[in-house]
Amino acid sequence: MTFAATVLTLYPDMFPGPLGASLAGRALAEGVWSLSTVQIRDFAIDRHRTVDDTPAGGGAGMVLRPDVLAAAVDHARARQPHAPVLAMSPRGKPLTQARVRALAAGPGVTILCGRFEGFDERIFEGRDVEPVSIGDYILSGGEVGALVLLDACIRLLPGVMGAASSGIEESFESGLLEYPHYTRPVDWEGRTIPEVLRSGDHAKIAAWRKHQAETETRLRRPDLWERYRSARVDPPSGARQKSRDDTK
Ligand code: SAH
């Protein structure tokens, strides 16, 4: 099944951009995923093809009009009724690997890209459009965010990554950052690869990697570490029930 991506944008020329190269590009050529762009300006209703207007209440910049956005969203949804419609916005819920995995398992995604000061808020009330952020910083437009989201989804599609297992141990998949990697040369500028990785003892290697992943997560990402720890200390009631049953 083809994962169908539709991007609603004022700059369709930005696509596929980097997604036309490397693994994603090959997968696009092979039909593992498909990409179509919708020019938001085509849904403008005046003869100047206006998509934005000044912010109500005053202030700098321009705001994308809800009527134009809704017409573009309706067009995309009619073509692909089952794909969720996400709007790139720094005010949205931050994108996570879990969300990426859920999206990649679905039929595809429709992404609305903002520009200027962003969207008229009423688009989120009048249409089933979910704001999604790619992080706590401001981009000049949603297109780069859409490329990030699509890249993260596409690499998970069946057949895109070389080794089927290589998605499983990545950072965030287990709730932890990944352990550090090393490759040849064994000695580089006097720095050697940790002895344990050359030992051939798989159990010892696995234990070392888990320890590294935990330590680095604790030091670099206390937010992730807290979540990981509390998930282990306080398992969901179903899991607690199961472990009690196991001891019988
Ligand atoms: N005035 C807005 C920022 C607008 S930036 C605010 O302060 O919230 C213009 C567009 O870039 C946004 O509409 C959105 O589509 C995109 N964008 C900017 N930062 C983003 C982020 N962190 N995640 C996702 N999209 C972002």
The pTM of the full predicted model, rounded to 2 decimals, is 0.92
Instruction: Check residue 85 and give left, alpha or beta (phi > 0: left; psi -120 to 50: alpha).
Output: beta
137-172, pLDDT tens digit by residue? 999 999 999 999 999 999 999 999 976 555 677 889
228 known member of a binding site:
no
Q: Which domain holds residue 44?
A: 3-154
Predicted local distance difference test score (pLDDT) of residue 243:
43
The answer to whether residue 70 is domain-embedded is yes
3-state class (DSSP) for residue 214: helix
- The response to whether residue 133 sits with its C-beta less than 6 Å from ligand 1 reads yes
Q: Domain containing 79 — which CATH number? A: 3.40.1280.10
Predicted local distance difference test score (pLDDT) of residue 167:
64
Predicted local distance difference test score (pLDDT) of residue 164:
57
Predicted local distance difference test score (pLDDT) of residue 235:
59
Backbone phi, psi, residue 182, to 5°: -140, 155
21-46, pLDDT tens digit by residue? 999 999 999 999 999 999 999 999 99
Structural tokens at position 16: 């596929």
Give the end of a domain, one of 154, 174, 206.
154
Q: Which stretches in the chain have pLDDT values below 50?
A: 240-248
Strands 85-94 and 108-112: parallel
Predicted local distance difference test score (pLDDT) of residue 193:
98
Residue whose CA is at the smallest distance from ligand 1 atom 3: 117
Give the end of a domain, one of 130, 154, 178.
154
Could you give the number of structural domains in the chain? 2
Do 42 and 120 lie in one domain? The reply is yes
72-82, pLDDT tens digit by residue? 999 999 999 99
- The label of the residue with tokens 């089933």 reads 128
The answer to whether residue 44 is domain-embedded is yes
The answer to whether residue 209 is domain-embedded is yes
Per cent of the chain over pLDDT 90 is: 88
Structural tokens at position 37: 């762009």
Distance 40 CA to ligand 1 centre (A): 17
d(CA 140, CA 212): 37
How far apart, in Å, are the Cα atoms of 141 and each of 10, 44, 59, 128, 175?
Answer: 10, 19, 19, 21, 30
